[in-house]
């Protein structure tokens, strides 16, 4: 193992430059593939958060970004997208090192990042202010303007993709940003801040403070210096930061947990559905908010489905995330592995059966990392904790249903409402089923698909607010109504005529 003193220290990025913590505190970053310490990051506190917010406020107030004009902002954002594209190999390598996601997944995911910056620069350029039919000799226009300084708190499972969903609309709309990435995966966010600067984003417009949720994250969320708070994280974190935003009366968006159902209708092509279910459940080792963790299969179809599904799951190649052939990497941290093991034990105690997996792999090469075999639980009912709680590991449940009403009731019978998929030979019928689902995103004969133009957001305990599409841009603006009197100036008290107020 490398000695701590040889390791690179990744500092905050404040006002355009790397900046150590005011108290010089750092913490270790672990490579989940090996369990070894791979780097160090600055451990931010309220002092560092305060410096970052002050830099963002100065940048916002002097108009170096917000008043640059949408054409010039869009040009810089497009240059930023080009620079991200050029840096993709390095970004994918580092993202893999700290998330443990297989390099083949990371390359595929990150190759799409530039689209977000290009899309939102186009949205900003095509955003129309409106003129209302205000009665009388008045010209009333309603303009969208940036909100100000926004805080973005991000998780570890898709660090750069989730950041892109927040940062691209925020910057396109002219805001200045302070990002607090997950303590586990801050390095690519810091790299991105440097890329933004080099592409022409002015100093102070994008700031990053690294560190722990209860320290840097809480200091940022509770700060009176921010105008909007945008979190992707767990539901309990969402409740905490939404309270802070409520206390400060600022806008708040939260993308939170999920427990996505896959509804396999009786007419579905079982081979294609089995392949789709492996994709839905095991991408990112199941560590996604939309992982297909509840596979709902009509009771007579369970056996034929499992005959097709289980061999595919067993054949997944578990290994070091850097190896090109690896299909399933480790979990991000020891605590996530422990949580996965605990939930499989709970499932067994509740009467479920482990149809495959259910343990750490025996390969000695993987002994140091946080690996867990892809696991399928059968005999699961919707009241079990394993069907109701987010595990965030490579574990999926197969739940039998009687008829379509029962399937829909199971799908909706949970506190979450983020993603779902419907598998059927009849897409028109699939749409009817989709409309009965109480969740924000539904795929038909697919899962996980995302596009910068396609609105994203959860119902119920899965969140408030939206990412992607024009909706996300609107949520990063506030609107101002300007009423221009084109007639005579008012002389309310100088006339005896009866006049209308409106």
C-alpha 470: how far from its chain's center? 17
Residue 213 binds to ligand NDP (criterion: CB under 6 A)? yes
Residue 286 binds to ligand NDP (criterion: CB under 6 A)? no
Q: Count of H helices and E strands in the chain?
A: 15, 23
Among 39, 44, 233, 261, binds ligand NDP (CB under 6 A): 233
Residues 496, 502: Cα–Cα separation, whole Å: 17
Of residues 254, 289, 397, 439, which has the active-site annotation? Answer: 289
What string of DSSP letters covers 333-360? SHHHHHHHHHHHHHHHHTT-EEEE--S-
CB contact at 8 A, 420 and 263: yes
Using the contact rule CB under 6 A, the part of the chain among 209-217, 294-302, 477-485, 488-496 near ligand NDP is: 209-217
Residues 256, 254: Cα–Cα separation, whole Å: 6
- Smallest gap from Cβ 184 to ligand NDP, in A, equals 6
Residue 241 binds to ligand NDP (criterion: CB under 6 A)? yes
**Token pair of 264, please?**
């396999």
Say whether 60 sits in a helix, a strand or coil: helix
CB contact at 8 A, 95 and 188: yes
Using the contact rule CB under 6 A, the part of the chain among 36-44, 119-127, 212-220, 468-476 near ligand NDP is: 212-220
- Smallest gap from Cβ 81 to ligand NDP, in A, equals 22
- Within 1-60, the residues that bind ligand NDP by CB under 6 A are none
Greatest alpha-carbon span in the chain: 94
- Smallest gap from Cβ 181 to ligand NDP, in A, equals 6
Residue 452 binds to ligand NDP (criterion: CB under 6 A)? no
Residue 147 binds to ligand NDP (criterion: CB under 6 A)? no
Residues 176, 12: Cα–Cα separation, whole Å: 16
**Token pair of 351, please?**
């009467």
Q: Which is nearer to ligand NDP, 325 or 342 (CB)?
A: 342
Among 20, 234, 334, 413, binds ligand NDP (CB under 6 A): 234
Q: Which is nearer to ligand NDP, 101 or 144 (CB)?
A: 101
Residues 221, 276: Cα–Cα separation, whole Å: 38
- Within 407-426, the residues that bind ligand NDP by CB under 6 A are 418
- Is 289 catalytic? The answer is yes
Among 21, 34, 109, 154, binds ligand NDP (CB under 6 A): 154
CB contact at 8 A, 310 and 376: yes
Short-list 480, 461, 457, 448, CA closest to 166: 457
Using the contact rule CB under 6 A, the part of the chain among 1-9, 59-67, 72-80, 176-184 near ligand NDP is: 176-184
Q: How far is CA 222 from CA 79, 97, 406, in A?
A: 34, 31, 43
- Smallest gap from Cβ 74 to ligand NDP, in A, equals 26
Sites of contact with ligand NDP (CB under 6 A):
153-157, 162, 180, 182-184, 212-214, 217-218, 221, 231-234, 237, 240-241, 255-258, 289, 390, 392, 418, 458, 462-463
Active site residues: 255, 289
């Amino acid at each position: 193992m490398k000695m701590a003193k040889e390791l690179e220290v990744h500092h905050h990025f404040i006002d355009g430059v790397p900046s150590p913590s005011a108290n010089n505190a750092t913490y270790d970053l672990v490579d989940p593939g090996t369990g070894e310490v791979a780097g160090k990051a600055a451990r931010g506190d309220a002092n560092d958060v305060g410096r970052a917010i002050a830099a963002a406020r100065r940048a916002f107030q002097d108009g170096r970004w917000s008043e640059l004009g949408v054409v010039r902002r869009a040009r810089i954002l497009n240059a930023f997208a080009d620079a991200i594209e050029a840096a993709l190999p390095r970004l994918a390598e580092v993202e893999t090192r700290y998330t443990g996601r297989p390099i083949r997944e990371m390359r595929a995911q990150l190759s799409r990042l530039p689209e977000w910056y290009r899309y939102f620069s186009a949205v900003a350029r095509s955003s129309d202010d409106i003129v209302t039919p205000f009665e009388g000799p008045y010209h009333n226009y309603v303009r969208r303007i940036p909100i100000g300084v926004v805080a973005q708190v991000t998780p570890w499972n898709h660090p750069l993709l989730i950041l892109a969903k927040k940062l691209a609309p925020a910057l396109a709309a002219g805001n200045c940003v302070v990002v607090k990435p997950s303590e586990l995966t801050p390095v690519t966010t810091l790299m991105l801040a440097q890329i933004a600067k080099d592409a022409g984003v002015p100093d102070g417009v994008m700031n990053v403070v690294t560190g722990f949720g209860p320290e840097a994250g809480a200091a940022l969320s509770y700060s009176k210096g921010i105008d909007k708070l945008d979190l992707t994280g767990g539901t309990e974190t969402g409740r905490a930061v939404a309270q802070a935003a409520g206390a400060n009366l600022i806008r708040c968006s939260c993308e939170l947990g999920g427990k996505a159902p896959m509804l396999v209708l009786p007419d579905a092509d079982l081979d294609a559905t089995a392949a789709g279910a492996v994709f839905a459940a095991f991408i990112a080792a199941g560590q996604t908010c939309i992982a297909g963790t509840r596979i709902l299969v009509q009771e007579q179809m369970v056996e034929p489905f499992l005959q097709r599904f289980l061999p595919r799951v067993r054949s997944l190649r578990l290994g070091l995330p850097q190896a090109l052939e690896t299909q399933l990497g480790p979990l991000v941290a020891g605590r996530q592995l422990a949580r996965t093991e605990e939930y499989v034990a709970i499932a067994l105690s509740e009467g479920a059966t482990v149809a495959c997996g259910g343990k750490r792999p025996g390969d000695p090469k993987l002994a140091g990392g946080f690996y867990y075999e892809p696991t399928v639980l059968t005999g699961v009912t919707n009241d079990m904790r394993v069907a109701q709680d987010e595990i965030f590991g490579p574990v999926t449940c197969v739940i039998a249903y009687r008829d379509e009403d029962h399937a829909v009731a199971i799908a909706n019978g949970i506190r979450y409402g983020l993603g779902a998929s419907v598998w059927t030979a009849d897409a028109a019928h699939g749409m009817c089923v989709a409309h009965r689902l109480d969740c924000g995103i539904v795929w038909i004969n697919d899962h996980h698909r995302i596009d910068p133009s396609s609105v994203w957001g959860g119902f119920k305990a899965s969140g408030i607010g939206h990412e992607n599409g024009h909706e996300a841009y609107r949520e990063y603006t506030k609107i101002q109504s300007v009423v221009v009197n084109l007639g005579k100036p008012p002389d309310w008290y100088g006339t005896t005529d009866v006049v209308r107020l409106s």
